Amino acid sequence: EAGVTQSPTHLIKTRGQQATLRCSPISGHTSVYWYQQALGLGLQFLLWYDEGEERNRGNFPPRFSGRQFPNYSSELNVNALELEDSALYLCASSLVRDSVSNQPQHFGDGTRLSIL
Amino acid sequence: GQQLNQSPQSMFIQEGEDVSMNCTSSSIFNTWLWYKQDPGEGPVLLIALYKAGELTSNGRLTAQFGITRKDSFLNISASIPSDVGIYFCAGRIAIGSSNTGKLIFGQGTTLQVKP
């Protein structure tokens, strides 16, 4: 069974540009989560998508946005890039059968975003 | 803000030794997860815990969900060189019966094993 796949592996942008990161969940998983792992700050929750809808977002500005497609894959878009956006962006997926489901999240290997 | 305090921050041990790390919080959690992250890779799930007092093993790894629901520990027995990496605890805060989808992560424990 294929795991969570993310692309690209690395992305280099300059300040003010826009970045698009992609994620394909494990087959059968309907929920996709995005996390930012900046150096020294640990993993910070960004967004949760399930069944095409945004279910929750973390404490990040609106220039961080995304969407989930009918095949459950997802995009994370970051507009007006700033130097501090340099980080590893991790996508995770899980099953969500109901509103109280506590299914574990399985992670991809991330996209390393570098802002010059 | 919501925080998980993970300790120790780093460990340097001899191959064959046992390892213990833990996470504590001021909030009550309904799920505890332990992950391992190797350089250049994403976190890999090691153990998932869902009930207070639950003790679960995965090979040489054992983890427990604290009775107070505010803490968890992970033990690694008879460490080997491939245990090297960063170990993260993560949890979901209990907010009624709702699932927020959000995992809160500890800062990680970096484990180095000397052969």
Tens-place pLDDT, residues A49-67: 999 999 999 999 999 999 9
Chain A: residue whose CA lies nearest to B86: A42
Residues in chain B with CB shorter than 8 Å from the CB of A31 are: 101
pLDDT tens column, A95-116: 875 555 568 899 999 999 999 9
Q: Which residue's entry shows tokens 């332990």?
A: B34
B21 vs A: CB within 8 A: no
pLDDT, mean of residues B38-62: 95
pLDDT at B58 over 80: yes
Yes or no, beta carbons of B99 and A102 under 8 Å apart? yes
pLDDT, mean of residues A65-90: 97
Closest CA to A81 of A2, A17, A6, A3: A17
CA dist A94 and A59 (Å) reads 21
Amino acid (1-letter code) at residue B79: S
CA dist B4 and A9 (Å) reads 29
What pLDDT does residue A98 have?
53
CA within 13 Å, CB half, B68:
9
Nearest CB to A102; choose among B31, B104, B105? B31
pLDDT, mean of residues B12-16: 96
A100 vs B: CB within 8 A: yes
Task: Report how far apart, in Å, the C-alpha atoms of A53 and of each of A70, A76, A82 are.
Answer: 10, 13, 27
Yes or no, beta carbons of B43 and A100 under 8 Å apart? no
Residues in chain B with CB shorter than 8 Å from the CB of A105 are: 33, 45, 103
Residues in chain B with CB shorter than 8 Å from the CB of A55 are: 101
Across-strand partners of A19?
Answer: A78
B96 vs A: CB within 8 A: no
Is beta strand A10-13 parallel, antiparallel or unpaired with respect to A111-115?
Answer: parallel
Closest CA to A9 of A115, A95, A89: A89
Residues A108 and A23: beta-carbon distance below 8 Å? yes
Question: Six-digit token pair at B43?
Answer: 């976190």
DSSP 3-state assignment of B81? helix
Give the residue, A95 or B106, on which the prediction is more confident: B106
